Structure 1
Amino acid sequence: MAKYLISFPSAAMVVPNGEWEAVGRDAHAVIDEAKAAGVYVFGGGIDEDVPPALVSADGTVAEGGYPWAPQLDGGFTVLELPSREEAVRWAARIAKACRCDQELRVFQFDPQS
């Protein structure tokens, strides 16, 4: 089985006023279903109030991420699934719950992870 990243940037989530509570409820319901199905690995959102830190091999820490890279924000879910088709089905369910399209990626297989 492969691990799939289902994600969206913060800017993609345009929710009308008054619908945030329903979005939260619906999104948590899909995650609860993924957990019950045994396919949930990890999920959450980037805390945008905490700035990234760039850590060098010698342990030096610089505030901020890579200056040339796009900002990383939004929500992420990692599921372990038997096929891309199944990943698409879960991504569609998350998209419906979150009211925004989801980006789907597969992690490369690493036998040591």
Structure 2
Amino acid sequence: MTKYLISFPSAAMVIPQGEFQAVADAAHAVIEEAKAAGVYVFGGGINEDLAPVKVSADGSVVEGTYPETRRIEGGYTILELPSREAAVAWAAKIAAACRCDQELREFMYDPMS
């Protein structure tokens, strides 16, 4: 089984006023479906109120990111699935629930994960 990252940037999720709860309920329903199917690994949104930091091997902390890193924000879901086709199907379910396109990426295989 392969792990897939399904994500979207915050700006892509435009919700009309008064519809946030419906979107949240739909997204939670897809996550519950993924859990019931046994494919859910992890999901959540980036806390955009906290600035990112870089941590060095000696434990020192510096505010910010690598200069070439684009802003990381929005929502993320990691699912473990048997095929890319299955990943596309789940990404479509999340896109429908969140009302925005989803980016799909495949993690490289790591026998330790």
TM-score by length of 2: 0.97
Match of 2:32 in 1: 32
Deviations 1:27-82 (A, max 9, x none): 00000000000000000000001111101122110012223321100000000000
Match of 2:42 in 1: 42
Counterpart residue identity of residue 72, structure 2: L
Aligned length: 113
CA distance in 1: counterparts of 2:79 and 2:7, whole angstroms: 11
Whether 2:77 is the aligned partner of 1:77: answer yes
Unaligned ranges ≥5, structure 2: none
Q: Which runs of 4+ in 1 moved over 4 A?
A: none
Unaligned ranges ≥5, structure 1: none
Counterpart residue identity of residue 79, structure 2: L
Match of 1:14 in 2: 14
CA distance in 2: counterparts of 1:43 and 1:24, whole angstroms: 13
User: Equivalent residue of 1:44, what SS?
Assistant: strand
